[in-house]
């Protein structure tokens, strides 16, 4: 009989069927129907765990990051489908709107943040219509130039160059008043030239790093999207809770009514 064949695969589900049998064996037909329903449910669950994409379209996720004064981001449903052509609104945590826009066909958006918007925290929310809404909380990095903090990883040279950058010695500072000697002029120009070259190299490194950072952010987006769907432990946990609630209800009833005497 099918009961024997199913007992290995769905022991937990069978357990309710047995509980049910002991508690409510008044009507044979209900009992049988339950067994069939259980079997169907078990098969559906098996299909679910085997399905490669277990997700659904009713949770809207938003992810965003700031790059050079522009807010870049993406909105998608948690099965990975993009949220197309939907309004995006960026506010601070007190609800003042900084900027708003729309997502494109790929669910992406790029919004230029207004100069000097004094927010430490930005709330980026996308309204997908039909009751779908997602909000992403973005903690802004400090306004002081973030690339400088990143630069030292590339080596020692740029950090010294960038450290020198802060005092900003003006070209007119060395020779003033008297005409300088050709040697002095030559050393001054070579120094300036070298510094300019160094700065150029540092800038290029920063640009390179920013490019790498953008690639990382992209990768992060992909990862987040993959992690968005419900995972199997959560699914099984939920089913377990429902079985537990059912069992508890039956237990309470059997203690009260006495019909469930073993």
Partner 1 sequence: MHIAEGVLSLPVLVTGGAVAALGTAVGLRHLDADTIPRAGVVSAALFAASLIHVRLGASSLHLVLNGVAGLLLGSAVFPAFLVSLFLQAVLFQFGGLIVLGVNTAVMACSGFAAGMAARFLLRRGTPAFVAGCIAGGGGLLGAALLAAAALAASGEAFGAGARLLLVAHLPLAAVEAAVGGCACTLLLRRFPDLFR
Q: Residue 46 or 197: which CB sits closer to partner 1?
A: 46
Which burial class, exposed, middle or buried, applies to 23 when counting CB atoms under 10 A from its CB (0-12, 13-18, 19+)?
buried
Residue 19 binding partner 1, by CB under 8 A:
yes
Q: Residue 55 or 180: which CB sits closer to partner 1?
A: 55
Give the Cα separation of 197 and 199 in Å (integer).
Answer: 5
Task: Find the Cα–Cα–Cα–Cα dihedral 67, 71, 75, 80, rounded to 10°.
Answer: -10
Angle at the Cα of 253 from the Cα atoms of 247 and 254, rounded to 5 degrees: 90
Q: Residue 28 or 118: which CB sits closer to partner 1?
A: 28
Q: Provide the 10 A C-beta neighbour count for residue 9.
A: 13
The interface region with partner 1, picked from 65-73, 157-165, 217-225, 249-257 by CB under 8 A, is: 249-257
Which burial class, exposed, middle or buried, applies to 111 when counting CB atoms under 10 A from its CB (0-12, 13-18, 19+)?
buried
Contact predicate 35/4, CB 8 Å: no
* Maximum pairwise Cα distance, the chain: 114
Residue 9 binding partner 1, by CB under 8 A:
no
Angle at the Cα of 153 from the Cα atoms of 148 and 154, rounded to 5 degrees: 95
The interface region with partner 1, picked from 169-177, 201-209, 210-218, 243-251 by CB under 8 A, is: 243-251
Q: By rule CB under 8 A, what string of x and - marks binding of each residue 213-242 to partner 1?
A: -----------------x---xx-xxx-xx
Q: By rule CB under 8 A, what string of x and - marks binding of each residue 56-95 to partner 1?
A: xxxxx----------------x-x-x--x-----------
Residues that bind partner 1 in the complex, under the rule CB under 8 A: 16-17, 19-20, 23-24, 26-27, 29-30, 32-34, 36-38, 41, 44-45, 47-48, 51, 53-60, 77, 79, 81, 84, 125, 127, 129-135, 230, 234-235, 237-239, 241-243, 245-246, 249-250, 253-254, 257, 259-260
């Amino acid at each position: 009989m099918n009961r024997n064949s199913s007992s290995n695969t769905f022991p937990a589900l069978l357990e309710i069927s047995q509980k049910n049998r002991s508690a409510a064996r008044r009507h044979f037909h209900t009992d049988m129907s339950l067994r069939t329903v259980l079997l169907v449910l078990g098969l559906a669950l098996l299909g679910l765990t085997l399905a490669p994409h277990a997700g659904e379209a009713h949770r809207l996720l938003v992810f965003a990051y700031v790059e050079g004064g522009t807010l870049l981001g993406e909105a998608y449903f948690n099965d990975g489908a993009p949220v197309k052509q939907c309004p995006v609104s960026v506010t601070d945590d007190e609800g003042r709107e900084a900027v708003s826009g729309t997502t494109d066909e790929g669910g992406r958006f790029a919004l230029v943040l207004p100069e000097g918007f004094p927010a430490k925290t930005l709330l980026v929310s996308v309204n997908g219509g039909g009751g779908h809404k997602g909000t992403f909380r973005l903690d802004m990095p400090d306004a002081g130039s973030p690339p400088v903090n990143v630069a030292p990883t590339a080596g020692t040279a740029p950090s010294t160059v960038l450290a020198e950058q802060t005092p900003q010695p003006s070209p007119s500072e060395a020779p003033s008043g008297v005409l300088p000697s050709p040697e002095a002029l030559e050393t001054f120009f070579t120094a300036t030239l070298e510094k300019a070259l160094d700065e150029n190299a540092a800038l290029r490194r920063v640009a390179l790093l920013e490019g790498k950072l953008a690639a990382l952010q992209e990768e992060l987006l992909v990862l987040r999207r993959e992690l968005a769907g419900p995972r199997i432990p959560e699914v099984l946990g939920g089913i377990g809770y429902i079985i537990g609630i059912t069992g508890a209800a039956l237990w309470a009833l059997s203690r009260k009514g006495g019909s469930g005497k073993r």
